[in-house]
Amino acid sequence: MKYTLNSNNNSATDNHDCVILPIFTKEKKILLSDAAQKADNISTNKIQTLLDQGDFKAKTGNTLMLYNLENIKASRVLLLGYGDEDKLNSKSFATIASSACKALKSKNIKNASFYLSGNTDTQALEVTQSILAFSDCLYQLQDYKSKPEDAPLLEELVISSTTDFSSESQTALKHSIAITKGMKLSRDMANHPGNICTPSFLANTAEELSKTFDSIQLEVLEEKDMEKLGMGAFLSVSKGSDEPGKMIVLQYQGASDKSEAPIALVGKGVTFDTGGISLKPGASMDEMKFDMSGAAGMLGTLKACAEMELPINLVVILAAAENMPSGRATKPGDIVTSMQGTTIEVLNTDAEGRLVLCDALSYVGKYKPRVVIDAATLTGACIIALGHHISAVLSNNDELVNDLSNAGEQINDPVWQLPMGEDYKKQLKSSFADLGNIGGRAAGTITAACFLGEFTKDYKWAHLDIAGTAWSGKDSTGRPVPLLSQYLINQANS
């Protein structure tokens, strides 16, 4: 899909297959945007006449396709409801653009001109959300279909304005295209089946990324390397599978000072999670291929960062393993020793994500990061708490939480902070080891973060639980690539 910007003061002369025109509503009155008004004037008020008949309500995301309007060059005009222009934000812009794409993709339309609202203050935001929404709407993975479905014909979106585009909008175009590339990589990785996307597959994909960008260097720790480092927590998960675990380390150096302390991103990469000996129920177990969405998101974020050429340093660690039951698998009640020397009683082998992450979080300390952010589909309890709309964030640093929250609001990939504290840590007490790997049913998302917090005391750290947001039904969403990409953009600009 090709995305471009175009300033055109007269939408009536636009000769794309379809012209998309914003229509507002306020106090039950319908208002034409500047672009719509110009088209209406040329078409002898055909648009206003249609609107006056009352068949189109300009609520957020409503659409009405018109054909062959008098004196309009485009053969199709899509009226697009924006709702109250005083209440527009990143979420409503995403909804609006998504509705436009859905109205177009089933039609014989190869290119479209999408006119923005006309508000110069929100122009860059509209550019970003339009590109992200169209990319999401048009996404397909058909690698495994013997007879692939027809792809949408739409191949070019021209984002148009009756005023000049600001430099911020030009930057937003570059950044949002990069983010969509990162999201596509993340979604593809998560959507691949577990028999394809193994820890080795993740490592091979990371290698391809490092070959594509000179700014990225790769190192892969094999199980023998992890044994030497004492990563007993990670290995307690991977040893039950015939697929060898991998600790995949990628470094991106974009800062002018290559010795500048990096931002560290750590992703849970359990490429399939049966639960191990604590076997999951069979229903919906196929969705456990998505349990590597944290790693997929970090890999996608790294690609977006490299595409944007952000002037920052990054270290990205993907803790990749497969959690399987076998004669070698860890048993409930087994005690293992983590890289930092903490002993862990594995009370439930289905709480494996925190075991691969805790050694990764210990290992990342060698890079002396300025902040560390991990992402994981860690707990079903997070879905109960926040549903599928908002990711949870838990942290030992309020400034980092604020930075992530602000980035999420900017790009419509929100987070919500949950508490941490000593009372919750008490639930992890073990009778026989330093820690248990679960803290009971109560506050499961919080106690999981408290467990990770025992391995992150030496640096600023935030944990993103994306169990409810990483996939929707049977399809990956690509989150939290937008959130983390926007966070990195903000850090690069600070």
Closest CA to 300 of 132, 182, 202: 182
Longest dimension (CA), the chain: 83
**Residue whose C-alpha is closest to residue 291's, from 242, 239, 237, 353:** 353
Q: What are phi and psi of 137, to 5 degrees?
A: -65, -35
Structure tokens at 463: 């944990």
Going by C-beta distance under 8 Å and a sequence separation of 6 or more, which residues neighbour residue 68? 75
**Nearest C-alpha neighbor of 316 from the set 331, 326, 328, 306:** 306
**Distance between CA atoms of residues 287 and 202, nearest Å:** 18
Catalytic, 246? Answer no
DSSP code for 349: T
Q: Are 23 and 32 in contact, with CB atoms under 8 Å apart?
A: yes
| Catalytic, out of 38, 76, 184, 354 | 354
Annotated catalytic residue, options 280, 370, 425, 460: 280
> Is there a catalytic annotation at residue 29?
no
What's the rounded Cα separation, in Å, for the pair 42 and 34? Answer: 13
C-alpha distances in angstroms, 201 versus 14, 205, 263, 373, 441? 46, 6, 25, 23, 34
Ramachandran bin of 478, using left for φ above 0, alpha for ψ from -120 to 50, beta for the remaining angles: left
**Residues with catalytic annotation?**
280, 354
